[in-house]
Amino acid sequence: MVRPKAHAAPPKSAAWRAISGSITLLRMGHRVSGVVAKGKGSPVELTTVLVPDPGPGEALVKIQAYGVCHTDLHYREGGINDDFPFLLGHEAAGV
């Protein structure tokens, strides 16, 4: 399981439960597939990624297709920085 390096939004599925007169928010992110570069020049891997629920002002989009472009290649090759792993594919289309 790899957590993306993008800013973390609160997890998605929230269930409310009363405990001792107080309310507790239970968070349960989404498990999705993602292409991850784990090291400089290494083959990329299709991996399960935990994506948190959207926070205020954010939306959850069901991705139907995405592209891995030349910028992603630069990340994989360590040309942007070497803070691996990287979740690749920022050109997404969905609903």
* Per-residue pLDDT in tens (0 to 9) along the chain, 95 residues: 555 555 444 443 333 333 334 444 445 788 888 899 999 999 999 999 888 888 899 988 888 888 888 999 999 999 999 899 998 988 888 88
* pTM, to two decimals: 0.61
Phi/psi for 80 (5° steps) reads: -95, -55
- Residue 53 parent element (H or E): none
Measure CA 33 to chain center.
9
pLDDT for the residue 68: 83
- Which letter does DSSP use for residue 2 in this model? B
